[in-house]
Amino acid sequence: MGVLIGSAALAAGTVTRHELRTRYRRMFPDVYGPLNPSIRDRACGAWLWSRRRGVVAGVAASALHYAKWVDDEVPVEMLWVNTHPPKGLIARAEAWAEDEVTTVAGIRVTTRARTIFDLGRHLERDAAVARIDALLNRGQVSVDDVLPLLARYPHARGIADLRTALGLVDAGADSPRETRLRLALSDAGMRPTGTQIVVRDARGRIIAKVDMGWEDLKIAVQYDGGHHQTDRVTYVRDQKVNRDLAALRWIVIRVIAEDSDADAVGRTAAALYSRGWRAA
């Protein structure tokens, strides 16, 4: 079951009115999709509603480029001139060039670089960094790929916000919560010097990969999601890794969802100072 234009499907006899009413969900005027549409379905629907003239952008575009952690109900942004878009669609009348657009699954969508360019300008800082991290984490794009767009549109709305976000992103973030934690540490003057740090034992064997930290000081900060407590295999593995890291004199600050940013920052600061670190 795909996404379709209702009137066209009825005229072609592809579906009946009863089928359209009971087996499909109306996503946009005259555009229907699965009863539980994914963000990719909704992006396709928005594009069809624009009569294939708009360009999917922003968070929805990042999802089409396989960035993770995108909720299916987020508004679909489009580069398109329309002063009265339907609910669930945001139209942005902004300049764009053909080399900033590509095709994904038959849908016109902003390139990865242009998507980052838009995310950094239209979202508040932490959300922008998290969304850009997620796209960078997929590979195939880097901050350097975005720089030509800054030169092309030096006076675009939100360009200063974009520059700020680009200075804080990190492709090593494995979840939005890791991004938030890294930003909290950075705002406190303790930006980790590395992410996804591989730790090896004396024989060169990999014993762990830590979320972020300071390799030279042997200090790691780990965000433990719920599965670290509820999944027995993960829990047992974590315990063994903790012992191995302790044997190598690593200090590991473990952060869970219930911890406040202030708590995580405080424990990290104590560990850093204990190893002779001083704020710049």
Residue 212 and residue 257 in one domain:
yes
What's the pLDDT score for residue 143?
A: 98
Residue 103 and residue 195 in one domain:
no
> 12 lies in which domain range?
1-37
With respect to residue 280, please indicate whether it lies within any of the assigned structural domains.
Answer: no
Query: Half-sphere exposure of 144 toward its Cβ, with a 13 Å CA cutoff?
Result: 2
Cα–Cα distance list, 243 to 115, 139, 279 (Å): 42, 33, 29
With respect to residue 44, please indicate whether it lies within any of the assigned structural domains.
Answer: no
191: domain CATH number?
3.40.960
Residue 190 and residue 208 in one domain:
yes
Q: At what angle do helices 159-166 and 112-122 cross, to 10 degrees?
A: 110
Distance, CA of 270 to CA of 272 (rounded, Å)? 6
Residue 26 and residue 70 in one domain:
no
What's the pLDDT score for residue 241?
A: 86
With respect to residue 56, please indicate whether it lies within any of the assigned structural domains.
Answer: yes
**b/e string for 62-75 if b means 16 or more Cβ within 10 A?**
bbbbbbebbeeebe
With respect to residue 45, please indicate whether it lies within any of the assigned structural domains.
Answer: no
Give phi and psi for 162, each to the nearest 5: -60, -45
Number of other CB atoms surrounding residue 60 within 10 Å: 28
Q: At what angle do helices 176-187 and 261-274 cross, to 10 degrees?
A: 60
Number of domains comprising the chain: 3
Instruction: Name the one residue in this structure whose structure tokens are 């952008």.
Output: 57
pLDDT in tens, the chain (280 residues): 689 999 999 999 999 999 999 999 999 999 999 999 999 999 999 999 999 999 999 999 999 999 999 999 999 999 999 889 999 999 999 999 999 999 999 999 999 999 999 999 999 999 999 999 999 999 999 999 999 999 999 999 999 999 999 999 999 999 999 999 999 999 999 999 999 999 998 899 999 999 999 999 999 999 987 555 556 567 677 778 889 899 999 999 999 999 999 999 999 999 999 999 988 7
With respect to residue 46, please indicate whether it lies within any of the assigned structural domains.
Answer: no
Per residue in 29-59, pLDDT (tens digit) is 999 999 999 999 999 999 999 999 999 999 9
Residue 8 and residue 74 in one domain:
no
Among 141, 166, 191, the domain-final residue is: 166
Instruction: Name the one residue in this structure whose structure tokens are 């508040």.
Output: 124
Instruction: Name the one residue in this structure whose structure tokens are 């705002």.
Output: 187
Residue 180 and residue 268 in one domain:
yes
Give, in degrees to the nearest 5, the angle at Cα 97 between 93 and 98: 120
